[in-house]
Amino acid sequence: MDDHDLERDVEAPPQPPRFGGGDWAMVLVALAVVGGGGAWWWFHREPGPPPPAPMATPAPVVPAPAVVEPARPVTVDRLRELFEAVSSSAALRSWLARGDVVERWAVVTDNLAEGVSPRARLRFLAPREGFTTTRRGGRRVISAAAYARYDLFAEAVGSIDVAAAVRAYRELHGLLEAAYRALGYPEGSLDRVTAAALKRVAAAPARDGDVFVEAGGTGPGTIYLYAAPELERLGPVEKHLLRMGPRNTHVIQAKARQLERALAFAPAEAR
């Protein structure tokens, strides 16, 4: 979907699944639970090749590398305990049971921190119901039914126990940072990218009341754009969160702020 597209009307022919409010639930879930399923993957990954035999001659002395926080051993039972304490939501646990959680978590979190839509990695969370609009005073607005598609996701995010999420984050920090760096961020910081992602969600504009849209674009079906220029100028992350509706947006943003305060990150720095 182009950055300027809002969403196609329900009458449009079937399109590939679009990034929706459930994606934000998954993002916050991933940030809150910090890859419980990813830790499982880490311990069950295929072993790499054995290290080479020691050289016959002593190796030259080199400076010691920078100290990196070691990944403390965590049993499967402890992972399950940490995971289940975060929320009793069946929907939340179902989302995290998907495969490749650690890779998806890293990509989604990095995308979110950079303001890039991570919809390509979260298509399974796209709502099945189509986007709909209604008329208000001769103008077209996003319908209540369109917002309601994301109620379950927002409720799941709202159910997260912040203290349990922070406990899991801290206990698994070394393991998860090692996994994050192994995915292509050798100098990356788990805290920095998580802080930036939470901050972007928390700071996104929420619009109470009607959100006016207007038809635009070309091609099959109707493409709707935000009528307010300040909303249409927003980035993909902010637009997608706004599309969830005021109630759901407030629930998710409140949880992001709670997590941000509880984790007490230092001010975001360049990664």
Q: What confidence tens digit (pLDDT) does each residue in 79-128 have?
A: 778 878 888 888 777 776 666 666 677 778 888 888 988 877 777 777 88
Look at 59-63, 141-145, 264-268 and tell me which has the smallest mean pLDDT. Answer: 59-63
- Banded pLDDT at 140 (limits 50, 70, 90): very high
Whether residue 10 has pLDDT greater than 60: no
Whether residue 266 has pLDDT greater than 60: yes
Encode pLDDT of 159-188 as tens digits: 999 999 999 889 888 877 887 788 788 888
pLDDT at 107: 78
Residues 29, 25: Cα–Cα separation, whole Å: 6
Give pTM, 2 decimals: 0.71
pLDDT at 16: 34
pLDDT at 23: 40
Q: Which residues pair with 135 in a beta bridge?
A: 140
Residues 71, 83: Cα–Cα separation, whole Å: 18
Residues 10, 176: Cα–Cα separation, whole Å: 40
pLDDT at 70: 52
Whether residue 225 has pLDDT greater than 70: yes
**Is beta strand 223-226 parallel, antiparallel or unpaired with respect to 7-8?**
antiparallel
Residue, of 151 and 17, whose pLDDT is higher: 151
- Banded pLDDT at 27 (limits 50, 70, 90): very low
State percent of the chain over pLDDT 90. 32
Look at 21-25, 52-56, 123-127 and tell me which has the smallest mean pLDDT. Answer: 21-25
Q: Which residues pair with 215 in a beta bridge?
A: 224
Look at 47-61, 143-157, 159-173, 238-252 and tell me which has the smallest mean pLDDT. Answer: 47-61
Helix (H, G, I), strand (E, B) or coil at 133: strand
Contact 133, 140 (CB under 8 A): yes
Domain boundaries, the chain: 7-46+73-263
Encode pLDDT of 228-258 as tens digits: 999 999 999 899 899 999 999 999 999 999 9
Per 3-state DSSP, what percentage of the chain is helix, strand, and coil (rounded to 5)?
50, 5, 45
CA 226 to chain centre: 23
- When computed from its CA atoms, the radius of gyration of the chain, rounded to whole angstroms, is 21
pLDDT at 267: 61
State percent of the chain over pLDDT 70. 66
